[in-house]
Amino acid sequence: MKQLSVIAAPVLLIACSADGEGAPGEGTPINKPAMADCPVIDSRDWTAWVDAEPGPDAPTLHIRGTVELPTPGYDYAWRVGLADRALPPGQHMHLDFTAPDGMVAQVITSVDVAYEGDATFAEYRMIRVKCGDKALAEITDVPVAR
CB 126 within 8 A of CB 87: no
Say whether 5 sits in a helix, a strand or coil: helix
Residue 5 reports pLDDT greater than 80: no
Cα 22–Cα 69–Cα 107 angle in degrees, nearest 5: 75
Average pLDDT, the chain: 82
**Rg of the chain, C-alpha, whole Å:** 24
pTM over 0.85: no
d(CA 86, CA 21): 50
Give the 3-state DSSP-derived string for 80-116, with helices as H, strands as E and coil as C.
EEEECCCCCCEEEEEEEEECCCCCCCCCCEEEEEEEE
Residue 135 reports pLDDT greater than 60: yes
State the pLDDT at residue 47: 98
Higher pLDDT among residues 33 and 105, named by residue? 105
State the pLDDT at residue 36: 61
Q: Summarize pLDDT for 40-91 with one digit per residue, the tens.
A: 999 999 999 999 987 777 899 999 999 999 999 999 999 999 999 899 999 9
State the pLDDT at residue 3: 54
Residue 34 reports pLDDT greater than 60: no
